[in-house]
Chain A
Amino acid sequence: EAAVTQSPRNKVAVTGGKVTLSCNQTNNHNNMYWYRQDTGHGLRLIHYSYGAGSTEKGDIPDGYKASRPSQENFSLILELATPSQTSVYFCASGDAGGAETYEQYFGPGTRLTVL
C-alpha cells in the first residue's frame, strides 16, 4: 500500500488563484519535503519540515508557503498562482539520524498547470 500519497494528481488553476497541494505519509517519518521537477532543472526543493508545526525554506521558496499540521500531513500552498509555477510537484518523506539525511520516499506527483 502506498506510503506517500498526494492529492490532487492533476490540477488546472487560473493565474492569481489559490492552489493547495496535499501530501499524506504513513511511514511515520519526521521529515517531509516538497519538490518541483522541471525539464533541465531536475528536482528542486521548495519547502521541508522536521515535524508537526515546523516548516523550513528550501532552495526555491518564493511564491510558496507550506503547512505541517500533523506528522502525517504536509501541504504546499500557492497563494497567487502564476504560469511559471506550472510544473510537476513531488512530496517525499524521510527519516534522519540527528541532522544526517537518509533516503526519502516519494509520492506519485501532482501535475499543476496554471493558465
Chain B
Amino acid sequence: AQKVTQTQTSISVMEKTTVTMDCVYETQDSSYFLFWYKQTASGEIVFLIRQDSYKKENATVGHYSLNFQKPKSSIGLIITATQIEDSAVYFCAIGGNTRKLIFGLGTTLQVQP
C-alpha cells in the first residue's frame, strides 16, 4: 500500500525567504506520480505541482520547485521568495496504478512580514 509522511507539522518563515517542506513516501509501483497541494485559510484546495517518477529533472512551476530524491523516496517542495499569501497548509500526495491519491497530513506554513 502507498503511504505519505510529512514530518513537519508547522513552519514559520520570514517573507521573501526560501522554505523547504519535506515529504517521504512508500510505494510498490514502479511508475508513480507525486503531487503538492495548497489549502488556503478559506478551505480551498489548489493543485500546485507534479513530479513523474520516471523524470530525473525536478519540476518547477512559478516560485514552486521540487527536490525529488528517488533513492530516498523523498519529494520536497521548495518555495522561493515567499509571500504572505503563501501562508497555508501544504499537502503532499502520491498516485500510482490505483486511480487514487494518497495524501499526507499536511504542513502548515506561516509567512511572517
Measured CB to CB, the residues of A under 8 A from B are 31, 33, 40-43, 45, 48, 50, 58, 88, 90, 94, 96, 99-106, 108-109
Contacts and interface: CB of A to CB of B under 8 A. Distances in A.
B99 interface: yes
B53 to A, nearest CB: 10
Contacts of A96: 99
B95 interface: yes
Interface stretch (B15-23, B41-49, B64-72, B74-82): B41-49
Nearest to A111: B43
B44 A108 contact: yes
Chain A, interface SS category = strand
Contact of A108 (B37, B43, B105): B43
A89 to B, nearest CB: 11
Given A41-B105, A101-B96, A106-B44, 20 more contacts: A31-B99, A42-B91, A43-B103, A50-B99, A90-B45, A99-B99, A100-B33, A100-B96, A100-B97, A100-B99, A101-B97, A101-B98, A101-B101, A102-B33, A102-B95, A106-B37, A108-B43, A109-B43, A109-B44, A109-B45
A48 to B, nearest CB: 7
Taking residues whose C-beta sits less than 8 angstroms from the other chain, chain B's interface range is: 20 to 34
Given A42-B106, A43-B103, A106 B45 contact: yes
Nearest to B50: A103
Given A88-B43, A109-B43, A103 B103 contact: no
Most chain A beta-carbon contacts within 10 A, residue among B33, B35, B47, B100: B100
B31 interface: yes
A34 to B, nearest CB: 12
A76 B99 CA distance: 19
Which among B46, B47, B104 has the greatest number of chain A C-beta atoms within 10 A? B47
A94 B94 CA distance: 14
Contacts of B50: 102-103
Interface in B80-113: 91, 95-101, 103-106
